[in-house]
């Protein structure tokens, strides 16, 4: 009985200790970010592996999500004779929700897990300690450029996802199902608000980029330096990122569109 209570207590303390370490880690990273800006080459290299290599999956998923939205939306709207509103439906769902959220989930799966595994392996092979021995701050040299590139790539990827998705919906709706081209775009332009919808979508994707980057790098940095620890860190990155993104999305949606 006492053992069970002790375990509960230890689990709670461990949880808070880890939470505290996570926040200290974030502080350390944020403090190192200005110094990283002086070395854009490091960020550039990471932008390539985090952003450019994620581009393909984002483009393909965006296209298919937009096409599915076009098909499903058309089938529902045509019952009410409102198929001209297809553009509004596709654009609003992509810009407000699907763009930022699906991009963040894919980003966590493609780039976040890679970051965790990379950092975790660096720790397991004692490269990070090696850097410290040479008086190179690993947070400044390794972590901060990766964090910055994740933070910068997410909004761009989300915007590409939404734009491609709108064209996917347009292709299905206008080219294949015969929705009027003019009505598709003009209703969309009439109903989608730049500030209310597009900006808020971008804000969401910035927040998600921040959170996914933080979780991925912290999981890697805090991993148990064994093969098992690294695999665990990679898995946890994807799980925790997905939960954080979906939970935060609800909060952000309630704040932005709740009135």
Distance (Å, whole) CA 224 – CA 169: 45
CB atoms inside a 10 Å sphere around CB 6: 10
Residue ranges in 154-183 that form contacts with another protein under rule CB under 8 A: 155-157, 159-160, 162-164, 166
Residue 53 per-residue DSSP state: G
Q: How far is the CB of 227 from another protein (least distance, A)?
A: 27
Distance (Å, whole) CA 218 – CA 222: 6
Applying CB under 8 A, which part among 47-55, 70-78, 110-118, 222-230 lies near another protein?
47-55
Distance (Å, whole) CA 51 – CA 232: 24
Largest CA distance in the chain: 72
Binding residues for another protein, total number by CB under 8 A: 30
* The binder of another protein chosen from 36, 42, 51, 174 (CB under 8 A): 51
Q: Does 47 bind another protein (CB under 8 A)?
A: yes
Q: How far is the CB of 93 from another protein (least distance, A)?
A: 12
Q: Which token pair is 56?
A: 């393909």
Residue ranges in 180-209 that form contacts with another protein under rule CB under 8 A: 185, 188-190, 192-194, 197-198, 201-202
Distance (Å, whole) CA 176 – CA 139: 52
Residues that bind another protein (CB under 8 A): 44-45, 47-48, 51-52, 55, 91, 95, 153, 155-157, 159-160, 162-164, 166, 185, 188-190, 192-194, 197-198, 201-202
């Amino acid at each position: 009985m006492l053992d069970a209570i002790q375990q509960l207590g230890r689990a709670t303390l461990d949880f808070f200790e880890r939470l505290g370490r996570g926040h200290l880690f974030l502080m350390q990273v944020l403090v190192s970010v200005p110094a990283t800006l002086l070395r854009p080459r490091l960020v550039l290299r990471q932008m390539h592996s985090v952003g450019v290599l994620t581009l393909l999956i984002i483009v393909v998923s965006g296209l298919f999500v937009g096409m599915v939205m076009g098909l499903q939306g058309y089938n529902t709207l045509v019952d009410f004779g409102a198929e001209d509103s297809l553009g509004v439906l596709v654009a609003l769902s992509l810009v407000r929700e699907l763009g930022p959220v699906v991009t963040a989930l894919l980003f966590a799966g493609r780039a976040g897990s890679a970051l965790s595994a990379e950092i975790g392996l660096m720790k397991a092979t004692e490269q990070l300690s090696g850097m410290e021995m040479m008086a190179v701050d690993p947070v400044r040299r390794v972590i901060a450029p990766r964090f910055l590139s994740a933070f910068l790539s997410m909004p761009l990827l989300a915007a590409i996802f939404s734009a491609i998705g709108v064209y996917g919906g347009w292709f299905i709706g206008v080219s294949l199902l015969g929705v009027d081209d003019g009505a598709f775009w003009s209703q969309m332009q009439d109903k989608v608000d730049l500030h209310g919808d597009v900006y808020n979508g971008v804000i969401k994707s910035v927040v998600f980029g921040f959170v996914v980057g933080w979780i991925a790098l912290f999981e890697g940095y805090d991993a148990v330096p064994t093969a098992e620890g690294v695999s665990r860190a990679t898995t946890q990155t994807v799980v925790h990122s997905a939960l954080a993104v979906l939970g935060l999305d609800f909060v952000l949606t309630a704040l932005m569109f709740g009135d």
